[in-house]
Structure formats: structure tokens, C-alpha cells
Amino acid sequence: MFCREHPAEFRPHQEELKGLGARLVFVSTGTPAMARDFREQQRVTASIWVDRRRATYRHLGFKRSPGSTLFSPAILKHAWRALRKGFRQGATQGDPWQQGGVLVVRRGGEAVFCFASAQAGDLASMEDVLAATRAAS
């Protein structure tokens, strides 16, 4: 359900990002076919890229473990937050143990912000992401 919550959190801010000249890209494990289904079902209008080998995730040092997916008490808090917003868990399509994050990069390649999820549902602060993007513009 967190994978559905994340794009939904960005949706109200896409116009601002566009106004800043920023490109929003969602990256996920899985396949292009899964990405197409996800795009349609979640009404994602930003680009979706697929990293089947998880090379970007490894490069960024994002966690991948059953512990960070299933056994952290913080996950219950995150799940309650997502459930109250109306998000429900669908069938997992991709790597079930992989955690995500957010990276903001200035034009030309300078990284200005990176957030790595500590556990499933640990999402970056949208305020922090927007502030970093404004600074990068």
C-alpha cells in the first residue's frame, strides 16, 4: 500500500515541480508490464522506470531485508497512516524486501537531497523534497 501512497503524495505537487522545471520519475523493481499496470491503476502521469536488477537501489545504499519489511514496529504506525488515507495493499509486483527512497539532483548531476527509507512505509517528508527541489532549480 505504501507504493500506492507514495505517488499519491506527489500528485498534488506535480504542478509545482513542473513549474520549477523539475522532472519527476518513479523508479521501481518489477517489469515494464507491471509498470504499465501500475500507471493505469494508480493514474500516475509522471515517468515510471524499471530497475529489474536493483542496481540504482544498491548504488544508493537502500535497505533490502525482510526485517525492514516485516519486523519493525514502526511499520505498524506507517501502515495505520496509509490505511487511514484509504490505501490498501495489493499483490506485490517486484522485490518484496526492497526499501525505497527519494533522490533530488540538480541539472547536470549534483545530488542535493537523498532520503533512504529505514523500513517499509518510511516516506520522505514532502516539505523536505520540495525545499530541496526549489533549491536545485
Restricted to residues 54-83, the positions that interact with another protein (CB under 8 A) are: 55-57, 59-62, 69
- # of chain residues touching another protein (CB under 8 A): 71
Q: How far is the CB of 132 from another protein (least distance, A)?
A: 8
Tell me whether residue 76 or residue 112 sits nearer to another protein (CB atom).
112
Torsion over CA: 6, 118, 126, 133 (sign) = negative
**Under a CB-based contact definition with an 8 Å cutoff, are residues 98 and 29 in contact?**
yes
The correct pick among 50, 72, 79, 87 for binding another protein (CB under 8 A) is: 50
Q: How far is the CB of 10 from another protein (least distance, A)?
A: 7
Question: Pairing between strand 101-105 and 111-116?
Answer: antiparallel
Question: 98 burial class (0-12, 13-18, 19+ CB within 10 angstroms)?
Answer: buried
Question: Pairing between strand 47-50 and 101-105?
Answer: unpaired
* Binding of another protein by 8 (CB under 8 A): no
- Distant-in-sequence, close-in-space partners of 58: CB < 8 Å, separation ≥ 6: none
* Binding of another protein by 85 (CB under 8 A): no
Tell me whether residue 80 or residue 103 sits nearer to another protein (CB atom).
103
Stretch that binds another protein, among 35-43, 70-78, 79-87 (CB under 8 A): 35-43
Residues within window 103-122 making contact with another protein, judged by CB under 8 A: 103-114, 116-117, 120
Torsion over CA: 87, 25, 13, 134 (sign) = positive
* Binding of another protein by 35 (CB under 8 A): yes
